[in-house]
Amino acid sequence: MLELRGITTGYGAVPVVHGIDLTVRAGEIVTLVGANGAGKTTLVKTISGLLRAQKGQILFEGQRIETLSPRARVLLGIAHVPEGRQTFAGLTVAENLELGGYVHRKRGGEEIQQRMKQVCQRFPVLQERIHEVVSNFSGGQHQMLAIARGLMASPKLLVLDEPSLGLSPTLVSQIFQLIASLRDQGTAILLSEQNAHLSLAIADRGYVIENGCFTISGEGRKLLQSADIAERYLGVGASLGTVNKDRDEKITRKLRQLMLD
């Protein structure tokens, strides 16, 4: 569905990501794991068109898209949920969602309303506060809204950048459940995450990015079990059994259980 061939990209003249190849197939969750500053966000921005690739090709459903505007890419079916609380803070939930369906506005207001109802079914919190201005929402609600807004464009591929950033463990597990269920309903997902443990647990496949290059790739669970990854990305703390290992493992177990149900 999405294919990156030899993508080099960065800010101004300085490349941050060097010659990367990546594939996302239909109905897959693909995880991008890497430390701070490895180039995850840069790569994701290049996919949605916020940044132009300096070299290489991006194919979406067989079509070259690397020179298209963000708008054209949304129309083709790529929705990017950016990192951090990138909602429209002074607007209401409903207005945020309407703007999410902005590219499809020619199809008429009714269809947008319809879509909004569907999307809100997944997010009861948003439904409750639909006419409230979102500026004083909590971090989790902002993230939910950002994802919901991404879904308004009825994407074929949802690109999520750090959805777990700054959220409580309960919320993180809720969001990861949601991501898994979206995949099960046919939306392909590209997930960029620092939380390697959780994101690899739900991923079909994963890529490890280091200093702008892919170092390892493979099936999500295999990556999770590989000693190399554990040491490098789950932190030395992971093997020593400190930091958040217990918490993460508990969530992972719960997630797996839920996904099996």
Partner 1 sequence: MIPIIVGGLLQGSVFAMVALGFALVYRVTGVINLSQGAFCVIGALITYTLERTLGWPVGLAVTGAVLGTTVFGIMLGAATFVPSLARLPNSSMLMLTAGLLTFIEGLLLVVWGSDPYDLPPFSGEMPVTIMGVRVPTQGFWIAGTTLIVILVLWYLLSRTMLGKELRACAENPLAARLMGIDVPRMTVLSFGLAAMIGAVGGIVVAPITSLQFDSGNFFTIYGFIAVAIGGMGSFVGAVVGGLILGVVQQLAAGYVSSLFSDGLAVIVLLATLLVRPSGLFAVGVARRQDVRDEQGVQLSVIRFNGRQTAFLGVLAVVLLAALPWLVPQSSGLLSSLVITGILFIGVLGLDVLMGYTGQVSLGQAGFMAIGGYTAAILAVKLGWPPLLGTAAGMVLSLISALILSLATMRLRGVYLALATLAFGLLIDSLAIGMMATTGGPSGLVGIPSFSIGSLSFATPFSMYYLVLGLIIVLILLLLGGMRSSFGRALQAIRTDQTAAAALDINVERYKVAVFAISAALASLSGSLYAFFFHFLSPEMVDTSRSFEMVTMLVIGGAGTLVGPLLGAALLTLLPEIFQPFALYKTLAEGILLVLTFQYLPAGIFGSLAGWLLRFTNRQTLIQASDVRLVKDESR
Which of residues 80 and 197 has its CB atom nearest to partner 1 in the complex? 80
Q: Which amino acid is at 130?
A: I
Q: Using CB under 8 A, pick the residue from 28, 66, 98, 162 that binds partner 1.
A: 98
Judged by CB under 8 A, does residue 135 bind partner 1?
A: yes
Q: Using CB under 8 A, pick the residue from 18, 115, 142, 149 that binds partner 1.
A: 149
Q: Around Cβ 191, how many Cβ atoms within 10 Å? A: 29
Judged by CB under 8 A, does residue 139 bind partner 1?
A: no
Which of residues 103 and 255 has its CB atom nearest to partner 1 in the complex? 103
Q: Using CB under 8 A, pick the residue from 37, 52, 55, 89 that binds partner 1.
A: 89
Q: Which amino acid is at 212?
A: G
Judged by CB under 8 A, does residue 13 bind partner 1?
A: yes
Judged by CB under 8 A, does residue 105 bind partner 1?
A: yes
Picking from 79, 135, 82, the residue whose alpha carbon sits closest to that of residue 103 is: 79
Q: What is the DSSP string of 28-95?
A: -EEEEEE-TTSSHHHHHHHHHTSS--SEEEEEETTEE-TTS-HHHHHHHTEEEE-SS--S-TTSBHHH
Q: What's the angle, vertex CA 144, arms to CA 259 and CA 221, rounded to 5?
A: 35
73 touches 34 (CB < 8 A): no
Q: Is 108 helix (H, G, I), strand (E, B) or coil?
A: coil
φ/ψ of 194, rounded to 5, equals -90, -25
Phi-psi region for residue 53, left (φ > 0), alpha (ψ -120 to 50) or beta? Answer: beta
Which of residues 98 and 248 has its CB atom nearest to partner 1 in the complex? 98
Stretch binding partner 1 (CB under 8 A), from 5-13, 30-38, 53-61, 169-177? 5-13
Stretch binding partner 1 (CB under 8 A), from 26-34, 96-104, 122-130, 201-209? 96-104
Picking from 3, 121, 116, 110, the residue whose alpha carbon sits closest to that of residue 62 is: 3
Q: Using CB under 8 A, pick the residue from 80, 142, 183, 197 that binds partner 1.
A: 80
Residue 77 C-beta: closest distance to partner 1, Å = 12
Stretch binding partner 1 (CB under 8 A), from 80-88, 180-188, 234-242, 253-261? 80-88
Residues that bind partner 1 (CB under 8 A): 11-13, 48, 50, 69-71, 74-75, 79-80, 82, 86-91, 95, 98-100, 102-103, 105, 133, 135, 149, 153
